[in-house]
Amino acid sequence: MKNIIKVLVSLLVIFSFNSCKQSDNIIDSTLDNFETGAVLRTIQVVSNTLNSSNNASTWEVKVEEQDQQDGKLFKSVSVYVSIRDLTPGNGITVAKDKFVKSFDASTFSTGPKGLPTGNVSASFGEAAAALGITPAQYAPGDLFVFELRLELTDGRIFGASSAAGIITGGFFASPFKYNAILLCSPEPGTYRVVMHDSFGDGWQTNGGNGGNGIKVTMDGVVTEIGMCSPYEASPYVCTGIPNTKTFKEAETTVTIPVGTETATWDFPGDQYGEIAFEIYGPQNQLLLAVGFGEGSPGLLPVTLCAM
């Protein structure tokens, strides 16, 4: 019995030694073949909208460059653009991966972490020209997708295709790709919003007792509208069609001033699938109808371009 135990212990020691040796070989091989790359960490998305009514409207991000020599290898950042056509009513436009412009490392300054930091941007006019598209080929609601490609002094280039998940998210926040929604200057006037709740207890959007309303952002200024709930104090309307105490119907308006450059409508969601609403333009034209349970959180495709 003692001899059997001695043999088992000996085999265990040999197995453990070989396993450690094999593991060390794998680690050594990985480290020997590991290549240090570079990232562009997103500091701030300055603007993620473009105005098709204004060629000078600009998409812009602030980024921080980091490489294995803390910025000494940084040469330039190039901007490429593609279009995601989300408005098939005017046909499908396919144009992608077109070079727009480059930013030399000299245009960056040293940030608070001692790394090159700077703003990268592209105007709507520059992006549309790079894509080679005409007004008949795009419409408000489409997405312009910008990709940044970082070039180092040793010739290596890093972009979205070379970024792993650990780079695109988390601390590094280096997706190399950014979406910009295409808008237009809105028709000024009074927009009417008719709201419904199928259960009759008002709106519960992103909260069980009410939640936020629809946020209309006009040139950075937010107006919030919605239908009230009996469960909490609310700034939203409780009267409407008809003047009801069952919280089934309500109506309100939003006024977009003359000269407004951009206006976005953002819906917070539908907690219980009981919400419906319609949005009408200044001439009482129906712009959007959302049925009961159809309201997903996010930007609403409300577009009525000024002539």
**104 vs 175: CA distance, rounded Å:** 20
Q: Both 50 and 164 in a single domain?
A: yes
Q: Both 168 and 272 in a single domain?
A: no
Residue 17 lies in a domain: no
Q: Both 84 and 112 in a single domain?
A: yes
Q: Both 162 and 256 in a single domain?
A: no
Residue 263 lies in a domain: yes
Taking the complete model, does pTM exceed 0.85, yes or no?
A: no
Q: Both 173 and 288 in a single domain?
A: no
Query: For position 174, what pLDDT does the model report?
Result: 63
Q: What percent of the chain has pLDDT over 90?
A: 61
Among the candidates 156, 183, 210, a domain finishes at: 183
pLDDT tens-digit readout, 220-278: 899 999 998 888 877 787 755 544 567 898 999 999 999 998 898 999 999 999 999 99
Residue 253 lies in a domain: yes
Whether residue 9 is predicted with pLDDT greater than 70 in this model: the reply is no
Whether residue 21 is predicted with pLDDT greater than 70 in this model: the reply is no
Q: Both 153 and 272 in a single domain?
A: no
Whether residue 13 is predicted with pLDDT greater than 70 in this model: the reply is no
Whether residue 201 is predicted with pLDDT greater than 60 in this model: the reply is yes
- Total domains in the chain come to 2
- Give the domain range for residue 227: 189-300
Residue 26 lies in a domain: no
Mean pLDDT along residues 104-113: 97
Average pLDDT taken over every residue of the chain: 84
Tell me the β-bridge partners of 47: 60
Q: What is the CATH number of the domain that holds 48?
A: 2.60.40.1940
Q: How confident is the model at residue 298 (pLDDT cuts 50, 70, 90)?
A: confident
Q: Both 43 and 150 in a single domain?
A: yes
**108 vs 67: CA distance, rounded Å:** 14
Q: Both 178 and 130 in a single domain?
A: yes
Residue 289 lies in a domain: yes
Among the candidates 127, 161, 183, a domain finishes at: 183
Query: For position 64, what pLDDT does the model report?
Result: 96
pLDDT tens-digit readout, 233-243: 777 877 555 44
Q: Both 62 and 118 in a single domain?
A: yes
pLDDT tens-digit readout, 281-290: 999 999 999 9
Residue 15 lies in a domain: no
Q: Are 294 and 208 in contact (CB under 8 A)?
A: no
Long-range contacts of 212-215 (CB under 8 A, 24+ apart): 212/268, 213/268, 214/265, 214/266, 214/267, 214/268, 214/277, 214/300, 215/265, 215/266, 215/268
Residue 107 lies in a domain: yes
Q: Both 265 and 241 in a single domain?
A: yes
Residue 28 lies in a domain: no
Among the candidates 130, 164, 183, a domain finishes at: 183
**246 vs 250: CA distance, rounded Å:** 11
Q: Both 164 and 229 in a single domain?
A: no
Query: For position 70, what pLDDT does the model report?
Result: 93
Q: How confident is the model at residue 169 (pLDDT cuts 50, 70, 90)?
A: very low
Q: What percent of the chain has pLDDT over 70?
A: 82
Q: How confident is the model at residue 168 (pLDDT cuts 50, 70, 90)?
A: very low
Q: Both 150 and 218 in a single domain?
A: no
Identify residue 151 by its one-letter amino acid code. Answer: E
